[in-house]
Amino acid sequence: MHALRVRTVLPAFLVLILAACGTAAEETTTTGAGGSVTTQPSTATGGTVRIGWGGAPADLNPGLGVLTEDYTLYDLIYDSPLNINLEGNFEPELATSWSASDGGLTWTLTIRDDVTFHDGTPLTAEDVAYSLNLYKDTEDFPFLPSYLTPFVSIEAPDATTVTLTTESPIGNFEYRMPAMYVLPKHIWEGVNPVEFTNDEMIGSGPFKLAEHAQDEFVRLGPNPDYWGGAPNVEQVVFQTFTNPDARVQALTNGDVDMITEFPATAVASLRSTANVVVADGSYFGGRLADIFFNVVEPANCPTTEEGGVCSGHPALRDVNVRRALATATDKQQLIDTLLLGLGAKGLGLVTSSLSYWYPEELLAEDYEFDLAAGAQMLEDAGYLDTDGDGIRECPTDDCGPTGDLTFRLNYPTDNDEHPRVSDTLSGWWQEIGVKVEIQGLDSDALTSVCCPSFDYDVMLWSWTSDPDPESLLGVMLCTEIASGYSETGFCDPEYDELYDQQLVELDPAARRKIIVDMQRIALEQVPYIIPWYYPRIQAYRSDRFSGWQDSFPILSLEDPSSLAVIRPTG
């Protein structure tokens, strides 16, 4: 499968974070242990929950969605076969069970028989198969088709069974399901799916669309017949606040009950505001910041027709130099100063939000910050400062006229942290004898020097991960160098072989072992330094509604897992 290239463009313009479609009933029981809920269970219902966010959905048609806000809305209004919970694990939603047979070539989903769409029509396996086939076959849908590429046929033999067949086994069936919003066949089969604006949004989820004003607000009402139990609130309003300070002020004043995002600089003042709770956790799938190097070997350089330039500094192809730079990078310091201590220390491309797949055992092998050790590594590898200008020179004579270890460093200008990260890195690296020339670029320009042209030395950027490691691990494949998906030009045949193995490994434990081995290679070869995993910070008022699910690793208060269970206080 071709992995998703999901670059963060703007904070409010994140693409494809798969959010979970909550099941109301199960999660109420787990909240007590988290201690975030009032000890006396309230039974009150009703009320309007007001939520302030920075963006707004652009498309009500689930096939066409690209914004985070689009997916938030789909998750509230539609059901999917499976769901990801706030611990990062997959759980049943419309499908009560799923299993592989026939050597992993056939997957069978058992669909609930007590589900109806918002218009009263029963939801059957037929609707599920129809929706999956629609997503698979509609090439103009930007993201969803790629989740279904391995399947050669999707059928509904009876009202509660869906079978999916593949040509080779797939080790990550579950992650392909949570964004497969089940659409009513009787409505969709009569329209052109690419031109359908879907203004009614008939789904089967816990909430119904009541009113939508583009770029202003979305108003939802409860689905009283929801199979998982009707939500307790009367109305949910998402209002767009373009100005982050206004959003914070609105929460402080009580104009809204929850804000989905706000600047880290407001954390301290919100924490001291009465009746306001600041919660932190991680994103579904996780978001990471990355520092990466142009390591493409001349032999692997894409052809001129493919756009290859390959002007990278030769010293960066020496793993000793990359290890020295990683040793001269203080991740914790970056988190403390730039994220006010709220991020989690990064390790590799598989984020801690992927719980099971996160390679904790590799933590001990990460490079510890030590400027002297970093300098010594360069010294030992033969990079000496022979002309006394404070910058080391290459031992070989292919490093340009001066032979200096001078690297270009580029970052996207639409990000707040990167200019400061660059300056901080430059300071540390200067101390071990490496000079950096910093230049911020517009994200289009950055893409054009990045890949597949490889016309850069060092780059800072960020990724939003899928809830499965496969897609992001694909960026280090030899086979992706010419496609532009690989941004470093890294190539290790052993890594590629392991990647192919994990694709078809059905046993999760065995697949995990392979994935850990792949990340060990990445850690040893250092094409990437991952300084941190972004934190997610949200805040809510505790005096109006109770039951916000804020004690799990993943934080998403706008998810059905919170909105379907919160109740008015008192």
Partner 1 sequence: MSRGRLVLRKVAWALVTVIVVITFNFLLFRVLPGDPAKAGVRDPRLTPESVEAARVRFGLDKPVFLNLEGGGLFDSQYFAYLGALAQGDLGESYAYNNRTVTELIGRSLVNTVWLVLPAQILSIMIGVVLGLLAAWRKGTKLDVGALTFSLFMWSLPTFFLGILLLFVGSRTFGLPTAGRVTIGADAGFAEAVGDIFSHLLLPTATLALVLLGEYMIIMRSSVVEVFSEDYILTAKAKGLSTFQIIRRHAFRNAMLPIVTLIALNLGFTVSGAIQVETVYSWPGLGKLTVDAVAQRDFPVLQGAFLLLAIAVIFANLVAELIYLRLDPRVTEA
Shortest Å distance, C-beta 142 to partner 1: 5
> Taking the CB of residue 158, how many other CB atoms lie within 10 A of it?
10
Shortest Å distance, C-beta 152 to partner 1: 20
> Interface residues for partner 1 in 382-441 (CB under 8 A)?
414
Residue appearing with tokens 């669909």:
111
DSSP code string of 16-44? --------HHHHHHHHHHHT-S-SS----
Coil vs helix vs strand at 162: strand
Q: Which span (32-40, 48-56, 124-132, 422-430) binds partner 1, by CB under 8 A?
A: 48-56
Pick from 20, 21, 37, 64: which binds partner 1 (CB under 8 A)? 64
Coil vs helix vs strand at 229: coil
Q: Whose Cβ is closer to partner 1: residue 98's or residue 485's?
A: 485
DSSP code string of 486-515? -SS----HHHHHHHHHHHH---HHHHHHHH
Coil vs helix vs strand at 73: helix
Name the H helices within 418-507: 418-431, 443-450, 470-473, 493-504
CA proximity to 282, closest of 331, 342, 341, 336: 342
Integer CA distances (angstroms), 427 to 257, 325, 372, 421, in order: 43, 12, 14, 10
Compute how many residues bind partner 1; rule: CB under 8 A.
50
Pick from 40, 97, 103, 195: which binds partner 1 (CB under 8 A)? 195
Shortest Å distance, C-beta 382 to partner 1: 39
For position 144 contacting partner 1 by CB under 8 A, the verdict is no
Shortest Å distance, C-beta 313 to partner 1: 26
For position 340 contacting partner 1 by CB under 8 A, the verdict is no
For position 305 contacting partner 1 by CB under 8 A, the verdict is no
> Interface residues for partner 1 in 91-120 (CB under 8 A)?
none
Pick from 1, 58, 100, 342: which binds partner 1 (CB under 8 A)? 58
For position 196 contacting partner 1 by CB under 8 A, the verdict is yes
Q: Whose Cβ is closer to partner 1: residue 367's or residue 485's?
A: 485
CA proximity to 435, closest of 477, 385, 472, 490: 385
Shortest Å distance, C-beta 366 to partner 1: 30
For position 212 contacting partner 1 by CB under 8 A, the verdict is no
Q: Which two tokens stand for residue 221?
A: 């009402």
Distance CA 290, CA 459 (A): 8
For position 146 contacting partner 1 by CB under 8 A, the verdict is yes
Pick from 1, 30, 59, 506: which binds partner 1 (CB under 8 A)? 59
For position 48 contacting partner 1 by CB under 8 A, the verdict is yes
Shortest Å distance, C-beta 560 to partner 1: 19
For position 138 contacting partner 1 by CB under 8 A, the verdict is no
319: enclosing H helix or E strand: helix 319-327
Residues 108/161, Cβ–Cβ less than 8 Å: yes
Q: Which residues bind partner 1 (CB under 8 A)?
A: 2, 4-5, 7, 10, 13, 48, 50, 52, 58-59, 61, 64, 66, 139, 142-143, 146, 194-197, 210-211, 213-217, 219, 235, 237, 239-243, 245-247, 249-250, 253, 255, 414, 444-445, 447, 484-485
